[in-house]
């Protein structure tokens, strides 16, 4: 097909800065650990800085929990478990409803802090992260007194103390995904937020205090890998829930082997996003953008492998490039920003490394021109065209705004290639043909399949992976199971 | 000099507004000593007829509201009722309840609203299914609200009995027209004020006060009402309702329960009773 | 040349609505806001299409078109006046000396339920009276019945009757219901000779919406890539606030781009929008929220 010159459609009207106001938010200079209902100094007295990745400036100093602190937290959680698990489901639910409402009341403050601490655009934290987090608490609050309906012929009971380790890509939302179902089912929690994004979890601790939640039911211990290991290895924890890389997930699964600890893992992915020739092409292109550039591509279920049917490949790629011209990359706190800062220097290095690999492997690279601020971690939205399953950038998770594009010809071919990966978290299917959708959803080996949409989340919708993307589900009725035992 | 208080006028609640009965009639409610508590509107069949038109109009957009939204609305009703707890306790006492029972009743009503708020986005997962048919089809069954429901409320426990029937019906996406307890009607209209301040769209809940003998036959026979719920033990009423409902194959639901504080007074099955089941097929071969 | 209607792009409505929501989340501030407001003002087809219109009403409207708010310096006038054919003469006279265009509806506006003869005569009358632009309506009944050739031929005939006047073709998207139909109707209109494609008569609900406008932009884009010809676009009806107008301009900017961001290729069919823009401009200048009492209503 003849390539068309689409440069005539260039946008010229540029938008002035539209910064979100930060006057009303409150961030302390120093944060302690949240254990047994109060903020407590770390025993060894060490602190680490959390940095704004868009400016490289320090936002606050945060306590580092050592093994000793984790032990104090687990003891508090164990003590609280006694009365918390005996509280009626109705009353447990009311606490969780309160937490949901308090998040709603302070939504804007949370959104701003999330963007400052992690780098994601305010539009996303305001419109997606924070509302979903509040709604997650709202959803699970309602299950607390209804568990007998969720599992036919079973009397569900809580597990005890849950150790939870969450990543930096959706800090508050991941905290909600972990804490809400655990509490609704009667467990108590020791949670470690990621070391580059501790702030919204600590603000959540403030809300937990305000809600009157009995002390010790939720404990927040900040720190890095060592703190996480202390949680995983603590003998008095009944359940480990981990969201993060597949590499660390494997380490955890091995570490708890031989113990009685229950485990759920939500790990990495290399999602296949499949566009058929009979798709609504314009919306499919938007779907590509949502699949790989949402949250700078820091998404485990990102659609990072595009499969486009050869007959429409040129059209789709041209439209994608045109669409990328109108993506605004920059200050996360500007309301018009589409793509924010990369979460950390470390992650930026990882992404840049993969881009080098892609180029060296012979992938045809495309990056629109971007004007980055002087300070901060930035990466252009990047396409690698004409690559194949054998390229490393097609096999390995990059966790950045980098899309690998392959063509395909038949349905069987694309199913085979989409499944040809150790991962199995998500997939996208774009076609207007209903039977094709149902056929593909039956054949694709992924825990979440999006037909004619992508990166859609809802507290009522179960989320989780096949294969090395992990096991266990979060969200929906199925999200209760990982926190219960059945007598 | 002591202050004279302003006495409340009790009107009907239709379409999110508080109109008087079009008939202009009233009936007096007295306390156990025989003193007047209030003059209630004596609703006519025309009030009922108007309410059905309004309920029908409001029902489809309420049904299409997200489950999240419905749950938040019900939770808000609980918030508003909690804030007016003392007022409701006093009103129940004025209608003849013992103080202790009144407090239990109000607390239970608030908790019941929270209970059903929590079902808004879950009952579908219990009552719907994907069905493994023996052909190349994706086959799924999902629940949908019946539509417009007439409700004859319980005579006793005029708040809790009311809430226990309204909440599951509306959380399931229906619009309702309720005939309040005849002997203890004040609570229903005060509850209408709570609904009114809770983001419940006008027309989703409509409340009439009046005589069962006058209105029941219309509530049971109206051709544009999809279901009728009757709370009570009168076998003649029950027979009458079943006969009239047959005119349009209305779904009939009867609750003979006397005490709505008992543990089996709330469950997702109360929601399910006002739901239809729809099954859809789609081929899966390419 | 009759277009190929068999291979047209299809649209997923939910996906379109999500894209629109992203356009609406753009925050237009400071100088870019003022720039946008002035641009929007210059793109207005100031409209009166009432059964009760009179010569006096149209004259007053024309004066407002030329003098939107004299105390505000450096603001553009509107692009055109849009009236029924019987007032084209009145408008032409009243607008003498300005560069404001006179657009006339025609072809048994708004229903379009009449014979070709009547529609041609309606059009010719307006053109003879001096109309610079003709806003015609398509036969929606014929379209929905699948008689696409009929719809095409009718547009082509009216285009011929327009002579030098520009032709805007009103699709009445509110009656076409689906986005795929909007695309199909756009295609027919452009190939039949439309200079502009327009959403609505403004006489039914829904009138202009962002989703149908988006699909029409997409049609215009593809048409340009196939033929090299630029077609204009006009959403009409329901655009009563600056906020909404700016959302349309954001979408225009990011979909069709710079070349369409002027009154030659984009118009707003509106009336009360004018004063809302003026109030926003004065607010931007003074920092004070305005009242309609300080702006002329004509």
Give the DSSP per-residue string, C264-280: TTB-EEESTHHHHHHHH
Residue B1 falls inside a structural domain: no
pLDDT digit string, tens, across residues B15-31:
999 999 999 999 999 98
**What band does B144 get if pLDDT is binned at 50, 70 and 90?**
very high
Residue C4 falls inside a structural domain: no
* Catalytic residue selected from C45, C122, C135, C276: C135
Any catalytic annotation for residue A300? yes
- Does A429 lie in the same domain as A416? yes
Instruction: Over range A32-51, report the average pLDDT.
Output: 98
pLDDT digit string, tens, across residues B86-132:
999 999 999 999 999 999 999 999 999 999 999 999 999 999 999 99
- Does A471 lie in the same domain as A441? no
Nearest to C197 by CA among C182, C211, C207: C182
A311 interfaces chain C, CB cutoff of 8 Å: no
- Residue B215 is part of a domain; what is its CATH number? 3.40.605.10
**What band does A192 get if pLDDT is binned at 50, 70 and 90?**
very high
Residue B8 falls inside a structural domain: no
- Does A403 lie in the same domain as A299? yes
Share of chain A above pLDDT 70, in %: 99
Residue C1 falls inside a structural domain: no
- For residue A375 the two structure tokens come to 């300070």
How many C-beta atoms surround the C-beta of residue A406 within 10 A?
A: 21
Please report residues of A whose CB lies closer than 8 A to that of B67: 460
Residue A474 falls inside a structural domain: yes
Residue A195 falls inside a structural domain: yes
Residue A8 falls inside a structural domain: no
- The Cα–Cα gap between A40 and A424 comes to 41
Residue C6 falls inside a structural domain: no
Following CA atoms C59, C61, C66, C71 in sequence, which dihedral angle do they give, to the nearest 10 degrees?
120
pLDDT digit string, tens, across residues B242-281:
999 999 999 999 999 989 998 899 999 999 999 999 999 9
- Residue C214 is part of a domain; what is its CATH number? 3.20.20.70
Prior bond to C136 cis, omega within 30?
Answer: no
Q: Is C15 helix (H, G, I), strand (E, B) or coil?
A: helix
Name the residue facing A283 among C16, C29, C31 (closest C-beta): C16
Residue C178 falls inside a structural domain: yes
- For residue A90 the two structure tokens come to 């109705």
Whole-Å CA distances, C213 to A284, A381, C18, C155, C207: 19, 28, 14, 20, 11
Please, how many CA atoms are within 13 Å of residue B170, restricted to the half-sphere of its CB?
32
Asked if residue B39 has pLDDT above 70, the reply is yes
Contact: A141, B111; criterion CB under 8 Å? no
User: How would you write the pLDDT of chain C (298 residues) with one tens digit per residue?
Assistant: 999 999 999 999 999 999 999 999 999 999 999 999 999 999 999 999 999 999 999 999 999 999 999 999 899 999 999 999 999 999 999 999 999 999 999 999 999 999 999 999 999 999 999 999 999 999 999 999 999 999 999 999 999 999 999 999 999 999 999 999 999 999 999 999 999 999 999 999 999 999 999 999 999 999 999 999 999 999 999 999 999 999 999 999 999 999 999 999 999 999 999 999 999 999 999 999 999 999 999 8
Contact: A13, C30; criterion CB under 8 Å? no
- How many domains does chain A fold into? 2
Residue of C nearest to A14 (CA): C32
Instruction: Over range A333-355, report the average pLDDT.
Output: 98
- Residue A221 is part of a domain; what is its CATH number? 3.40.605.10
Residue B195 falls inside a structural domain: yes
Residue B81 falls inside a structural domain: yes
Share of chain A above pLDDT 90, in %: 98
- The Cα–Cα gap between A49 and A39 comes to 17
- Does A201 lie in the same domain as A83? yes
Q: Is B276 helix (H, G, I), strand (E, B) or coil?
A: strand
Asked if residue A26 has pLDDT above 70, the reply is yes
Contact status, residue B40 vs residue B29, Cβ threshold 8 Å: yes
User: Which residues form the domain of B198?
Assistant: 26-283
Residue B66 falls inside a structural domain: yes
Confidence (pLDDT) at A6:
87
Whole-Å CA distances, B68 to A68, A135, A140, B120: 42, 8, 12, 7
Residue B5 falls inside a structural domain: no
Please report residues of A whose CB lies closer than 8 A to that of B82: none
Please list the alpha-helical segments (H only) found in chain B: 45-64, 67-83, 85-94, 99-119, 123-127, 160-171, 186-196, 212-221, 235-245, 268-272
- The Cα–Cα gap between C50 and A21 comes to 46
Residue A373 falls inside a structural domain: yes
- Does A278 lie in the same domain as A168? no
- Does A398 lie in the same domain as A369? yes
Residue A214 falls inside a structural domain: yes
Contact: B122, A411; criterion CB under 8 Å? no
Residue A238 falls inside a structural domain: yes
Please report residues of C whose CB lies closer than 8 A to that of A320: none
- Does A347 lie in the same domain as A242? no
Average pLDDT, chain A: 97
Q: State the first-to-last Cα distance of chain C, in angstroms, to the nearest integer.
A: 43
Share of chain B above pLDDT 90, in %: 96
Contact: B118, A135; criterion CB under 8 Å? no
- Does A124 lie in the same domain as A82? yes
> Which residues does A167 contact at the CB level (< 8 Å), separation at least 6?
A174, A194, A243, A244, A300
C228 interfaces chain A, CB cutoff of 8 Å: no
- Residue A332 is part of a domain; what is its CATH number? 3.40.309.10
User: Which residues form the domain of C17?
Assistant: 13-294
Confidence (pLDDT) at A3:
61
Which pTM does this prediction carry?
Answer: 0.95
Residue C17 falls inside a structural domain: yes
Contact status, residue A207 vs residue A34, Cβ threshold 8 Å: no
- How many domains does chain B fold into? 1
User: Containing H/E element for A450?
Assistant: strand A448-451
- Does A294 lie in the same domain as A209? no
- Does A309 lie in the same domain as A238? no
Residue A14 falls inside a structural domain: no
User: Which residues form the domain of A410?
Assistant: 272-451
Asked if residue B75 has pLDDT above 50, the reply is yes
Confidence (pLDDT) at A1:
44
- Does A277 lie in the same domain as A249? no
């Amino acid at each position: 097909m003849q390539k068309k010159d689409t440069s005539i459609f260039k946008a010229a009207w540029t938008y002035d800065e539209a910064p979100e106001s930060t006057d009303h938010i409150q961030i302390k200079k120093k944060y302690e650990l949240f254990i047994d209902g109060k903020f407590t100094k770390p025993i060894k007295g060490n602190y680490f800085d959390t940095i704004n990745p868009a400016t490289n400036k320090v936002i606050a100093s945060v306590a580092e929990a050592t093994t000793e602190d984790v032990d104090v937290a687990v003891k508090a959680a164990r003590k609280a478990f006694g009365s918390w698990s005996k509280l009626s489901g109705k009353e447990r639910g009311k606490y969780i409803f309160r937490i949901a409402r308090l998040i709603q009341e302070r939504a804007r403050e949370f959104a701003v802090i999330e963007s400052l601490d992690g780098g994601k655009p305010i539009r996303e934290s305001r419109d997606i992260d924070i509302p979903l987090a509040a709604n997650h608490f709202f959803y699970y609050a309602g299950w607390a007194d209804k568990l007998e309906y969720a599992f036919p012929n079973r009397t569900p009971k809580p597990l005890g103390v849950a150790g939870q380790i969450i990543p930096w890509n959706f800090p508050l939302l991941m905290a909600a995904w972990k804490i809400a179902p655990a509490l609704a089912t009667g467990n108590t929690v020791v949670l470690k937020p990621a070391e580059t994004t501790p702030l919204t979890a600590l603000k959540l601790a403030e809300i937990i205090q305000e809600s009157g939640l009995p002390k010790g039911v939720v404990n927040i211990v900040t720190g890095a890998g060592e703190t996480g290991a202390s949680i995983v290895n603590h003998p008095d924890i009944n359940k480990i829930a981990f969201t993060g890389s597949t590499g660390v997930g494997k380490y955890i699964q091995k570490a708890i082997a031989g113990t009685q600890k229950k485990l759920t893992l939500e790990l990495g992915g290399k999602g296949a996003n499949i566009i058929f020739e009979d798709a609504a092409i314009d919306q499919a292109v938007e779907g590509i953008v949502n699949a790989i550039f949402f949250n700078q591509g820091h998404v485990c279920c990102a659609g990072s492998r595009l499969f486009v049917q050869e007959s429409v490949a040129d059209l789709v790629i041209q439209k994608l490039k045109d669409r990328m011209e109108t993506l605004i990359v920059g200050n996360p706190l500007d309301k018009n920003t589409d793509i924010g800062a990369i979460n950390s220097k470390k992650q930026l290095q990882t992404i840049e490394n993969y881009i080098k690999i892609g180029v060296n492997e012979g992938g045809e690279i495309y990056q629109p021109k971007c004007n980055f601020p002087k300070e901060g971690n930035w990466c252009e939205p990047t396409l690698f065209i004409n690559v194949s399953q054998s390229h490393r950038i097609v096999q390995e998770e990059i966790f950045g705004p980098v899309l690998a594009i392959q063509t395909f010809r038949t349905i069987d071919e694309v199913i085979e290639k989409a499944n040809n990966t150790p991962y199995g978290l998500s997939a996208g299917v774009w076609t207007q043909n209903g039977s094709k959708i149902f056929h593909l959803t039956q054949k694709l080996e992924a825990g979440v399949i999006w037909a004619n949409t992508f990166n859609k989340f809802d507290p009522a919708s179960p989320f989780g992976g096949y294969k090395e993307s992990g096991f266990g589900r979060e969200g929906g009725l199925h999200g209760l199971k990982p926190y219960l035992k059945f007598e | 000099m002591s202050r004279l208080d302003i006495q409340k006028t009790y009107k009907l609640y239709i379409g999110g507004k508080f109109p008087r009965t079009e008939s202009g009639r009233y009936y007096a409610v007295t306390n156990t000593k025989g003193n007047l508590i209030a003059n209630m509107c004596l609703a006519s069949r025309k009030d009922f007829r108007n309410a059905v038109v309004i309920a029908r109009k409001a029902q489809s957009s309420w049904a299409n509201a997200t489950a999240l939204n419905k749950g938040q609305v019900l939770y808000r009703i609980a918030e508003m009722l909690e804030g007016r707890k003392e007022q409701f306790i006093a009103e129940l006492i004025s209608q003849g309840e013992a103080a202790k029972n009144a407090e239990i009743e109000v607390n239970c009503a608030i908790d019941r609203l929270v209970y059903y708020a929590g079902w808004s986005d879950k009952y579908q997962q219990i009552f719907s299914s994907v069905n493994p048919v023996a052909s190349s089809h994706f086959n799924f069954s999902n629940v949908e609200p019946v539509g417009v429901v007439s409700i004859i409320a319980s005579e006793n426990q005029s708040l809790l009995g009311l809430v226990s029937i309204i909440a599951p019906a509306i959380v399931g996406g229906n619009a309702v027209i309720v005939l309040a307890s005849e002997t203890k009607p004040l609570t229903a209209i005060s509850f209408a004020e709570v609904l009114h301040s809770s983001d419940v769209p006008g027309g989703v809940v409509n409340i009439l006060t009046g005589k069962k003998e006058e209105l029941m036959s219309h509530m049971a026979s109206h051709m544009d009402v999809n279901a009728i719920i009757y709370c009570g033990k009168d076998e003649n009423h029950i027979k009458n309702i079943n006969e009239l409902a047959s005119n349009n194959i209305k779904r009939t639901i009867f609750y003979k329960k006397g005490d709505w504080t008992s543990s089996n007074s709330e469950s997702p099955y109360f929601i399910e009773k006002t739901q239809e089941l729809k099954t859809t097929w789609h081929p899966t071969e390419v | 040349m009759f277009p190929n209607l068999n291979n047209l792009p299809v649209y997923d409505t939910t996906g379109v609505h999500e894209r629109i929501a992203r356009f609406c989340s753009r925050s237009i501030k400071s100088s870019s806001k003022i720039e946008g407001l002035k641009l929007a003002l210059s793109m207005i087809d100031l409209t009166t299409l009432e059964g009760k219109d009179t010569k006096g009403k149209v004259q007053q409207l024309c004066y407002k078109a030329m003098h939107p708010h004299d105390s505000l310096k450096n603001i553009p006038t509107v692009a055109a006046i849009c009236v029924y054919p019987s007032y084209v003469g009145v408008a032409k006279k009243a607008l003498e000396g300005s560069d404001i265009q006179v657009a006339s509806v025609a072809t048994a506006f708004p229903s379009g339920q009449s014979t070709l003869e009547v529609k041609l005569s309606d059009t010719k009358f307006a053109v003879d009276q001096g109309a610079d632009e003709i806003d015609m309506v398509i036969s929606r009944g014929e379209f929905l019945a699948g008689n696409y050739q009929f719809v095409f031929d009718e547009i082509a005939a009216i285009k011929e009757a327009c002579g030098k006047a520009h032709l805007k073709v009103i699709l009445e998207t509110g009656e076409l219901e689906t986005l795929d139909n909007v695309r199909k109707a756009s295609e027919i209109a452009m190939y039949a000779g439309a200079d502009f494609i327009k959403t609505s008569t403004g006489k039914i609900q829904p009138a202009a919406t962002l989703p149908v406008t988006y699909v029409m932009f997409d049609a215009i884009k593809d048409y340009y890539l196939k033929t090299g010809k630029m077609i204009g676009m006009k959403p009409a009806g329901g655009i009563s606030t600056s906020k909404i107008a700016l959302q349309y301009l954001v979408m225009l900017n990011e979909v069709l781009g710079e070349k369409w961001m002027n009154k030659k290729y984009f118009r707003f069919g509106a009336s009360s929008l004018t004063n809302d823009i003026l109030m926003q401009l004065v607010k931007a200048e003074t920092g004070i929220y305005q009242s309609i009492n300080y702006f002329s209503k004509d």
